[in-house]
Amino acid sequence: MHRGPDDQGVMTDGDFGFGMRRLSIIDIEGGHQPFHSPDGRYALVFNGEIYNFRDLRRELQALGRVFESAGDTEVILAGYERWGDDVWARLDGMFAVAVWDMHARRLTLARDPVGIKPLYYTDQAAGFAFGSELKTLTLLPGMAFDVDARALHDYFSFGHVRTPRSIYAQVRTLPPGHVMTIEASGTPTMRAYWTPAYHPAEPRSEAQWIEQFRDQWLDTIGKQMVADVDVGAFLSGGVDSSAVVAAMAQVSDRPVRTFTIGFPDPRFDESLHAEAIARHLGCNHVTRTLELAEAQAMLPEVQHCYDEPFADPSAVPTWYVSQIAAQEVKVALSGDGGDELFFGYKRHATERRIGALPAPLRKLARALDAVPTLPSRHANAVLQRWRKTTGSAALPNGVARFFAKTQITNEAFRREIFSADFLAEEEGGIAALVAEYFPDPAAISVDTLEQFGLADLALNLPGAMLTKVDRASMAHSLEVRVPMLGQGMVDLALSMPADMKLHGKVGKYVIRQAIAPWLPEGILDRRKQGFQMPLAAWFAGDFGAYAEQLWRDSGVREQGMWRTGAVDKVFADHRAGKRDYSRFLYALAIYCLWWIGRPKAVAVGIL
């Protein structure tokens, strides 16, 4: 219901059927789904938005197609009739699409290039099924759903389950940029229609790159503001959201509606910076402060919208800001994707420094592992961050260091808290992950930063960032668009030299330079924050006691995969300030909440 409160439709054809709940954004009256081709052969359901649908519509009209509606849904179907599976690479947008061919009895599923919109599927003896969320599948009769031990390793290593896995062994995600065909025989085939790859452009000056970015950015924002309903934006006060709102103000003829979340702790609160930018740009701005007690109270509801364990703490403020925005608009633009495309994370600057070191020197950096626990909570937190950096230094390439740097727990810690039988599922460690996803890092680029960045784009972006935003926003029937991931922006970033993205120590350099004339001077010269939670302090206080109660009362402690005494000690050591275990403890609390509320169809007693 939450993904589509405005309209619904169902179609059946013998032993096949599909349905759709619609959040009406464009062509409100004429966009009913399933949408049928004029000859009745094809039917389509579609979640998302296509931003270049008007250009494609004109192209198809020139080829003789007559359109009955004004929106993007019919354009996708008409494109599929004309070009077949070649249509997917022509679409600039976010989408999960299903097309049913009644004559050939063939089902085609396609997902957008970077994975903005989700698409799950399961192929079992009871049948083949797909949907935008896991809960659409676990409600089906006759299906089995067993917790996937490998998915749990993903989750407690990275805070989310890596594509193509889901928390269930029988369910997979269609990877970004892929199309799947299920023939009448019932055999699925899958192929990539788009794969991220660097394609360096002809040399040009810094000023030319900045001008090209600004032109492409304004064009992208203009296209993504098209809607038949009110459009707003999330504004955290950081570079990417400021770039979104500043460009919206450039192309819009009325004030932009903006929304931000503040925190009582000034170390995590960017709301004053967001308000300063909103005033400068003439926005209609809304700020809400999120108290930690409120965050704790809403955590079970936040976790429920993900259908599987998902341990990004910023899901809580993202869920809350979506709730606030949905009270005033049906569409919001967000700055997600800028860090991955334009090297904006601190880990990218770290990789640039580490990648430039000779291998023997990188191996020596691991000596920090021998430093014992210190008497100060702050000193231990600093030491822990340095260990995470130096611990990855000796790894052989940027992809391996990507996996090491994006972990929420390392292998040594997992050996302490998990049983030997459970750990047997994780054989190979980081080397096995490199072999699974990027077996030849040098084929990505000779630059280890570009290796690292492409892994971020292909894995962390769809698995963590985009999952977070899609579920948190759609829980409130709010469509969030991500203009940084418009196809023109992605192509531009993949053609741009690395030093235009990470310039010295300055990440997202080209974005900063392009939008600087639109913003107050110096407003972006701050440490990156975003909608982040004060986790360490949260777990040292009352929330730590709440999480420990979940651990003891949820039934998770009795699962055979744990060394329970070691986990009990983690809680105690965190309270004492010996180490910051907040990311693991948050993941554990979320897992406990998921386990408590898991669907009835999920098998019990297998862990």
How do residues 302-339 score in pLDDT, each as one tens digit? 999 999 999 999 999 999 999 999 999 999 999 999 99
Q: How far is CA 542 from the centre of its chain?
A: 29
> Strand 42-50 and strand 93-101: pairing?
antiparallel
> Strand 7-13 and strand 16-22: pairing?
antiparallel
The residue with tokens 């967000």 is 334
Any idea which of 212-226, 379-393, 415-429, 449-463 has the lowest mean pLDDT? 379-393
Strands (E), 314-457: 331-333
pLDDT at 228 over 60: yes
The residue with tokens 């080209």 is 510
CA distance 421 to 429: 15
- Are 497 and 197 contacting, i.e. CB atoms less than 8 angstroms apart? no
SS3 386: helix
Q: Where in the chain is the domain with CATH 3.60.20.10?
A: 7-192
Strands (E), 76-215: 93-101, 106-111, 120-124, 127-131, 171-173, 178-182, 188-192
Q: Give CATH superfamily name and number for 7-192.
A: Aminohydrolase, N-terminal nucleophile (Ntn) domain (3.60.20.10)
pTM assigned to the model: 0.93
> Strand 35-36 and strand 42-50: pairing?
antiparallel
SS3 190: strand
- The neighbour count for residue 327, using CB atoms within 10 Å, is 10
Strands (E), 243-394: 257-262, 284-289, 331-333
pLDDT reported for residue 425: 75
Mean pLDDT value of segment 498-515: 97
The residue with tokens 């600039």 is 92
Residue 574 parent element (H or E): helix 564-576
Mean pLDDT, all residues of the chain:
91
pLDDT at 378 over 60: no
CA angle 21, 22, 24 (to 5 degrees): 165
pLDDT reported for residue 269: 85
Mean pLDDT value of segment 232-246: 96
CB-count exposure of residue 125 (10 Å: 0-12, 13-18, 19+): exposed
- At 203, give phi and psi (nearest 5°): -55, 140
SS3 353: helix
Q: How confident is the model at residue 358 (pLDDT cuts 50, 70, 90)?
A: low
Rg of the chain over Cα atoms, rounded to whole angstroms, equals 24
Mean pLDDT value of segment 419-429: 86
Q: How confident is the model at residue 9 (pLDDT cuts 50, 70, 90)?
A: confident
Structure tokens belonging to residue 319? 């869920």
- Are 216 and 51 contacting, i.e. CB atoms less than 8 angstroms apart? no
CA distance 234 to 243: 11
If one compares 30 and 447, the residue with the highest pLDDT of the two is: 447
Reference 455, options 347, 320, 325; nearest CA is 347
Any idea which of 253-257, 297-301, 368-372, 556-560 has the lowest mean pLDDT? 368-372
Mean pLDDT value of segment 574-589: 91
SS3 450: helix
Which residues, including other chains, have CB under 8 Å from residue 179's CB and lie 6 or more apart?
85, 88, 108, 109, 110, 111, 190, 191, 193
**Model pLDDT for residues 163-190, shown as the tens digit of each residue:** 999 999 999 999 999 999 999 988 899 9
Q: How confident is the model at residue 369 (pLDDT cuts 50, 70, 90)?
A: low
Mean pLDDT value of segment 114-137: 96
CATH value of 206-342+462-518 in 1.20.1060.10, 3.40.50.720, 3.40.50.300, 3.40.50.620: 3.40.50.620
Any idea which of 112-116, 545-549, 550-554 has the lowest mean pLDDT? 545-549
Reference 34, options 50, 17, 7, 11; nearest CA is 11
Tell me what percent of the residues of the chain surpass a pLDDT of 90. 77
pLDDT reported for residue 391: 67
pLDDT at 529 over 80: no
Tell me what percent of the residues of the chain surpass a pLDDT of 70. 90
**Model pLDDT for residues 254-307, shown as the tens digit of each residue:** 999 999 999 888 878 889 999 999 999 999 999 999 887 888 899 999 999 999
> Strand 188-192 and strand 171-173: pairing?
unpaired
pLDDT reported for residue 8: 78
How far are the Cα atoms of 228, 329, 374, 539, 576 from residue 380, in angstroms, in the given order? Answer: 53, 44, 6, 16, 11
CA distance 23 to 254: 24
Q: How confident is the model at residue 28 (pLDDT cuts 50, 70, 90)?
A: low
Q: Where in the chain is the domain with CATH 3.40.50.620?
A: 206-342+462-518
CA distance 454 to 343: 10
**Model pLDDT for residues 38-90, shown as the tens digit of each residue:** 999 999 999 999 999 999 999 999 999 999 998 999 999 999 999 999 999 99
pLDDT reported for residue 148: 95
Mean pLDDT value of segment 125-132: 95
